[in-house]
Amino acid sequence: MNSFLALRDQDLAAFTGERRTGIRKRVERELRTAEFIASIVELFGPVMADTVSVLSGGHSMQAEESYRTFSESEDDDPFGEPPARPPQEIVR
Amino acid sequence: MPSGAPSYGCDTTMEDMDIVRAYRAHQHATCFQILYDRYAGKVYSKAMTMLHKPSEAEDATQEIFTKIFLSLGQFEGEAKFSTWIYSITYNLCIDKIRKSKRSRELFATEMENPPDTAEEVPDEALMSMQVNELRYVLGQLTEAERTLLLMKYKDGVKIRAIAELLGKNESAVKMQLKRIKEKAKRIHDKQFTSVA
């Protein structure tokens, strides 16, 4: 048998049991930590950046939400007719 | 995702690329486990080739797998997944060697040695040694010589790839390998071949 391949097989055989499992656990731990940090940054990054921006005198990056008023929403006419005009004369 | 691949996870019959896609989609622990089981031993063996110490090879294996799984999104599948893993392995090990004091030796061109005119030692002369004999011979070589020899014959890395990894040209690598084989054969014959 090729002695170099035998050497490789010995290396592979040495990488079993606790050594193999231990490294896998360490990798999993590092991946979980990276995932946790990434999710923290994803959640709070924009808010933190906005806070810093406002504290340093800038404007908030978040768009101001506008709500339709009650009267505007009532004006929606599905038939395209103009809204009813108020009466010209005041009936006393 | 290709047909036949379960959308919820991975199984051992799946191709590497399908497992990578499934891992990207679901981050399923099974996908991680399968890829780790497939490549951990090979990565460790290659790290041993370059770093020589089991503890350093273990640390390198851990770093390599962390790097692989964190950058799986960048793997587009142009090359084979195994090729991608091995390039990460060699690059990380070379970085580690560069950071250590051994770098000068590994990346030297050894121009001070004049080219040999002797006939090239056939590969079989090295491959037919007993494993314990080979270990002895490797122990007598310098770190750079040992690494080159193992990359070529143990890991089967092509001359062109070795040249790229070490930043040398192919003929320089071939010449270096020729000298190392001669030296290895000399060491072996001196120690194990009895002279009447």
Of B89, B87, B91, the C-alpha closest to B99 is: B91
Report if residue A40 sits inside a domain.
yes
The answer to whether the beta carbons of residues B55 and A15 sit under 8 Å apart is no
Tell me the per-residue pLDDT of B108-156, one tens digit each, with 9 for 90 and over.
655 445 455 567 788 888 888 888 899 999 989 988 888 889 989 998 8
Residue A24 maps to a domain: yes
d(CA B65, CA B35): 10
- Cβ neighbours of B153 in A, within 8 Å: 2, 4
Burial of residue B30 (number of CB atoms within 10 Å: 0-12, 13-18, 19+): middle
Q: Is residue A69 assigned to a domain? A: no
Alpha carbons A14 and B42: distance in angstroms, whole number: 11
Q: What percent of chain A clears pLDDT 90, i.e. is strictly above it?
A: 24
| Interchain CB distance below 8 Å, A4 and B135 | no
Q: Could you report the per-residue pLDDT of B149-160, keeping only the tens digit for each?
A: 998 999 888 898
Give the residue numbers spanning the domain of A26.
Answer: 3-57
A71 domain residue, yes or no:
no
> In angstroms, what separates the C-alpha of A5 from chain B's closest C-alpha?
6
* Cα distances (Å, whole numbers) of residue B136 to A25, A82, B49, B145: 34, 98, 15, 14
Structure tokens at A8: 């490789």
- A41 falls within a domain: yes
Q: Say if B71 is an interface residue toward chain A (CB within 8 Å).
A: no
Question: Quick check: is A22 in a domain?
Answer: yes
| Dist CA A57 CA B127 (whole Å) | 73
> Per the domain annotation, does A21 fall within a domain?
yes
Tell me if A67 is assigned to some domain.
no
Question: Is this structure's pTM higher than 0.90?
Answer: no
Query: ipTM value of the model?
Result: 0.74
For residue B1, what pLDDT is reported? 41
- Domains contained in chain A, number: 1
**CA B54 to each of CA A42, A72, B152: distance values in angstroms, whole numbers, following the listed order:** 38, 75, 20
Of B29, B58, B135, the CB nearest to A19: B58
